Amino acid sequence: MGVVNNPETEMGGKWTLRTGEASVQLILSQAEIVAGEIPAGEIAGFGVTVNALPSSAPVTEELLSPARAIVIEVVPSSSESLSRLIALRAAHPLLPMVAAVREPTLQVVRALLKAGVNDVVSLPLKVDELRGVLDQLRADMQRQQVREGKLGKIVSVVRSVGGVGATTLATQAASLHARIDAEAGRKTCLFDLDLQFGNAGTYLAVKPKLTLQDLLEAGSRVDGALLKSACAQTETGLNVIAAPTDIVPLESVSADQILDIIELAAAEFDTVYLDLPGNWTNWSLSLVARSDAVLLVVETTIASLRQAKRQLALMRSQGVGDAPIQIVVNRVEKKLFKPISLSDVERALGHPAAFSIANDFHLVSTALDQGLLVQDLKAGSKVAKDISEIVGGCEILFERSNA
For the chain, which residues make up each domain, given as ranges?
Answer: 2-148, 153-398
What one-letter code names the amino acid at 271? T
DSSP 161: S
Tell the CATH topology of 153-398: Rossmann fold (3.40.50)
Strand 119-123: give its sheet, edge to edge.
2-4, 15-18, 48-52, 24-28, 69-73, 97-102, 119-123
R_g (Cα) of the chain, nearest Å: 27
Q: Is 360 left (phi over 0), alpha (psi -120 to 50) or beta?
A: beta
Lowest mean pLDDT among 32-36, 61-65, 125-129, 243-247: 61-65
Contact between 333 and 359 (Cβ < 8 Å)? yes
Amino acid at 249: P
For a pLDDT cut of 90, what percent of the chain falls above it?
63
Interval 353-363: pLDDT, tens: 999 999 999 99
DSSP conformation letters of 236-294? T--EEEPPPSS---GGGS-HHHHHHHHHHHHHH-SEEEEE--SS--HHHHHHHHH-SEE
Q: How far is residue 170 from each of residues 194, 355, 362, measured CA to CA in Å?
A: 12, 14, 18
| Distance (Å, whole) CA 84 – CA 55 | 9
Confidence of residue 14 (pLDDT cuts 50, 70, 90): low
* Mean of pLDDT values over 383-400: 94
| Domains 2-148 and 153-398 in one fold | yes
Predicted pLDDT of residue 65: 79
Q: What is the pLDDT of residues 60-117, one digit of tens each?
A: 888 887 788 899 999 999 999 999 999 999 998 888 999 999 999 999 999 999 989 9
pLDDT the model gives residue 163: 94
**CATH class of the region 2-148:** alpha beta
For the chain, percent helix, then strand, then coil, each to nearest 5? Answer: 45, 20, 35
- What pTM was estimated for this model as a whole? 0.67
* pLDDT band at residue 149 under the 50/70/90 scheme: low
Beta pairing class for 293-298 and 325-332: parallel
**Nearest residue to 271 via CA among 300, 302, 293, 296:** 293
- 12 pLDDT above the threshold of 50: no
- Asked if 119 and 137 touch (Cβ cutoff 8 Å), the reply is yes
Cis bond before residue 39 (omega within 30° of 0):
no
Helix pair 166-183, 382-398: axis angle to 10 deg: 70
* Ordered alpha helix ranges (H), 318-381: 342-349, 361-370, 374-377
Q: Are the C-beta atoms of residues 355 and 320 closer than 8 Å to each other?
A: no
Residues near 257 by beta carbon (within 8 Å), at least 6 away in sequence:
216, 219
Residue 42 pLDDT greater than 80, yes or no: no
Instruction: State how far the Cα of 342 lies from the Cα of 348, in Å rounded to an integer.
Output: 10
- What average pLDDT score do residues 39-48 get? 77
Q: How far apart are CA 52 and CA 215, in angstroms?
A: 37
Q: Determine the pLDDT at residue 358.
A: 94
Model pLDDT for residues 268-318, shown as the tens digit of each residue: 999 999 999 999 998 999 999 999 999 999 999 999 999 999 999 999 888
Residue-level pLDDT at 2: 39
